[in-house]
Chains A and B, each alone.
Chain A
């Protein structure tokens, strides 16, 4: 049993919902969004103008941040490493993709119910949620933990990738779903839609962040952290550990589903490669780099890695896998608490320093 004592210290300081880091992160998110919107509204001739393509790219980053939050919720606060969260993301994406396809041509069979937005929105939450419920129930009930759980989640997303590659699934086979034109009656190609999707994604990140924050400071959150650190003890005290895990796993899958649903209209395609184990495991490295068990760390990690990816795949495409692989190795070996860990140690040192100063003054 490995007790991760390094996490206890920070947990104690973050008992309240409105902690300093929550406020700061919310503030940064809101201000960031507003700045982008204002810069986007500037005339194109201006040097400060932010193009629609960039806005769309940032919107995509927001959906990745959402996905990272989902992974961090269960990995950071529950200690279960899912290598298959891309599956939930893709399921949400496919639900949205079906809805978007239905806007231009009627869908065959059962898929025709996806023509209505409320049904589609429900499917975005329910498809990943139900899968997580069934899968999690099976896994947690028989106490599949640790690396075993990681591997069967990877097998799950791999199996889904194979399944969605089949034309018989009615999901477009290996090309996936594409040719999206309209969302809620508005054209997807319009400028307003790009901005609207950006804002929607940003708001989704903000709401999910608050939701996760609320969960982590709640009783459920504290039990889940306890489960992470000493599962057997929590069980012996009398908590239903499997219920706690299942609840968080389903919430996490739903957040991932929403992320996928927001991702699809901004990118314009969803195909089985989203189910690929590589994508799911990449998400884990975003969280690891940002700092697991800190929600703002997950957001930061997703942003940093994806920005790096965008820049580097453009400049030297061959090097990207070296860098990504190197990130995996370096982060796990040198930065086990990620960027957030570095920040908090640095802040901790400064606070200790202040304390010392004060002590000196009082003395």
Chain B
């Protein structure tokens, strides 16, 4: 019924437009007749007159009529129609207040707008609010124009723009354009675009009461599909029951993607923990030294990133690339300095070492506060680390977190290779297992101590570089990670690289899984208590060394 009404309306509009056009042509013809000099311009004028009429139809108060006029534009053969509709959608298509010309405002931000002629696209100087009146649109009209634009770009352009047009059509298919979309779907060559059009059409059919069409929507993650289906499922019919079951399938699929998202966030949070803890695990494993200043070494790495970025304004990508070796070297140098000046004098007294390094951490913090400022600094991420990787409607991975995760794995792989294949790694492992025996075999344990400490500190610096991409850089940056890092070390087992990796990742994931249920703070408390209880069962961590190793 509505369909008939609608097409009748359209017929009327068309009739009106055509008759108007006829009048104009007549008037024009009269003009030509009276002025012979205008004869060469005749075909041009004619070509100009038809678009002109299309635009004039827009000059009405009724949004309904404007919509019909827009539709007429979309269906016309005018070359400029896409641009007109886009300008109309943006509220930048307008008419001269005292005159007959139509303009497109290219920039409406200032008081004086640069404008171009809407028909010829020639530069028309500037206009203001007083001289040009933009056509107003409302929300209904906006939706309608969007649908028109989408179906327009379905006709033209490459596959990518057709696909995005098809995506925009979901939920926008109406009685008015359904047949046309159906035709386009049959002509479409690309499978992806066709599938998308199928979804758009199926959604329309379902709204019209077609149960069969629900099959196409099964497992679709689009929010618009979900919203429409849930409004249909609220009813009490066979269709509603069927829609409910489809909706259930969609919801469970979304739930899986949500879980994947949580896992991803957990792993990225965990990778920060691993980066922060792994240096600690090495130094504790080799020297039996708890370095309470480890958090401040992380902070130094982050500040190094910030300083390099200050030195290279406008090039955050290069700055970050330089910060990776830079952070490692600066923090590593601090580490060697700490080892040479303090820690080596406290051999065999772990509790005293703990206190002394804690003192160092206070000094370093205050140093940063005095030299820089107590305020937080922002490190800008390069463009390629901003934004998200949208896998589908329900799953998107933020690029900076993804990068941190990959960076963590790379650092881990590097450290593992170092420990496994290099001379230093061999000596480090020897000293970890039995210091006295290693020394008896000719390993210079003090040199190993110094290098290990520098290495652990350097890795802390790398953690700082990674952290600077996620949060602001401030004097308290390290402190907030130190307790967590210790838990990771204790949980994973001292001096055990794999243990640290597994422990850090699992603590990150557990924390992230608990958070939506109990809130961030309680989740943290539960993790803390859990680790304390865990140590009861396995005091040596997840991967306890087998047999006697010391």
**Interface, chain A (partner B; CB < 8 A):** 2, 81, 135, 138-139, 141-144, 146-148, 150-152, 154-156, 158-159, 162-163, 165-166, 277, 281, 284-285, 288, 318, 321-322, 324-329, 331-333, 336
Contact = CB atoms under 8 A, between A and B. Distances in A.
Contact of B483 (A142, A158, A288): A158
Contacts of A151: 290, 486-487, 490
A332 B346 contact: yes
Contacts, number: 119
B521 A325 contact: no
Given A151-B290, A322-B366, A332 B535 contact: no
B413 interface: no
A60 to B, nearest CB: 22
A155 B351 contact: no
Given A159-B529, A322-B362, A333-B346, 13 more contacts: A138-B532, A144-B536, A147-B350, A148-B539, A150-B354, A152-B532, A155-B532, A159-B528, A166-B521, A281-B355, A285-B359, A321-B362, A325-B366
Contacts of A331: 355
A103 B370 CA distance: 45
Contacts of A146: 350-351
Contacts of B355: 281, 284-285, 288, 328, 331-332
B358 A281 contact: yes
A148 B359 contact: no
A95 to B, nearest CB: 20
Contact of A328 (B359, B367, B487, B528): B359
SS class of chain B's interface: helix, strand, loop or mixed?
Answer: helix
B351 A333 contact: no
Contacts of A318: 366, 369-370
Interface string B515-534: 00000011011001101110
Contacts of B140: none
Contacts of B532: 135, 138, 152, 155-156
B345 interface: yes
B255 interface: no
Contact of A2 (B349, B358, B490, B539): B349
Contact of A142 (B349, B369, B535): B535
A333 B528 contact: no
B535 A144 contact: yes
Contacts of A166: 521-522
19 contacts: A135-B532, A139-B536, A146-B350, A152-B532, A152-B535, A154-B483, A154-B486, A158-B528, A159-B524, A162-B521, A163-B521, A284-B355, A322-B366, A325-B358, A325-B359, A325-B363, A325-B366, A328-B358, A329-B356
A168 to B, nearest CB: 9
Contacts of A285: 355, 359
Interface in B465-508: 483, 486-487, 490
Contacts of A158: 483, 528
B411 to A, nearest CB: 24
Contacts of A143: 539
A328 B356 contact: yes
Interface in B353-395: 353-356, 358-363, 365-367, 369-370
B321 interface: no
Contact of A332 (B356, B361, B367, B490): B356
Given A165-B521, A281-B358, A328-B356, A142 B539 contact: yes
A333 B533 CA distance: 35
A285 B357 CA distance: 12
**4 closest A-B pairs (Cβ-Cβ)?**
A328-B359, A325-B362, A325-B363, A321-B366
B361 A325 contact: yes
Given A325-B359, A332-B355, A141 B536 contact: yes
B417 interface: no
